[in-house]
Amino acid sequence: MADTNSETTYTLLTEKQAAIKAKCPRCRRGDLFKNKMYSFKQTMYDRCPHCNLKFEREPGYFYVSMFVSYALNVAEMVAVCVAIYVLTGSENPMTYIVVFLMATIILSPFNFRYSRVILLYWLTPGLKFSAEKAKDLPLDAQ
């Protein structure tokens, strides 16, 4: 006879899906951010709404995400400059500067969000997915 207690009422995301959707790295169910990526202001939850993981692991923890954001920005700059060269063949430096500054401004919410996601998912030792934490909460804990 099948064990009915092991049935899940939710879809468990893979690590990549959870990172793209900016979910908690431990339970992959709670959101990291209160707002959508292109809302006026992006604010993070202090703790995971599902498993209560404290996202800011230590004081100043998210300063490290500035380095991740910098790396993302450099990669985007190279991609944008190569795209401009391939598409237009322009040799005017102002074209590159203007387009790159516009791309930086447009992509800054993306960089802000995913630098923190990359930091939490792949650059934090000891923070792993826990199938136990992903389970539905008991009714008295909700």
The piece of 7-15, 33-41, 53-61, 77-85 that touches Zn ion (CB under 5 A) is 53-61
- Are 62 and 123 a contacting pair, CB within 8 Å? no
Q: Is 27 an interacting residue with respect to Zn ion (CB under 5 A)?
A: yes
- Are 34 and 44 a contacting pair, CB within 8 Å? yes
Of 104 and 124, the one with the shorter C-beta distance to Zn ion is 124
Does the CA dihedral 86-89-92-95 come out positive or negative? negative
Q: Is 51 an interacting residue with respect to Zn ion (CB under 5 A)?
A: yes
Count the residues of the shown chain that bind Zn ion, applying the rule CB under 5 A.
Answer: 8
**∠ at Cα 71 (18, 65), nearest 5°?**
60
Nearest distance from C-beta of residue 98 to Zn ion, angstroms: 42
Residues 95-124 that bind Zn ion (CB under 5 A): none
Q: Is 48 an interacting residue with respect to Zn ion (CB under 5 A)?
A: yes
- Are 29 and 51 a contacting pair, CB within 8 Å? yes
Give the binding site for Zn ion (CB under 5 A): 24, 26-27, 30, 48, 50-51, 53
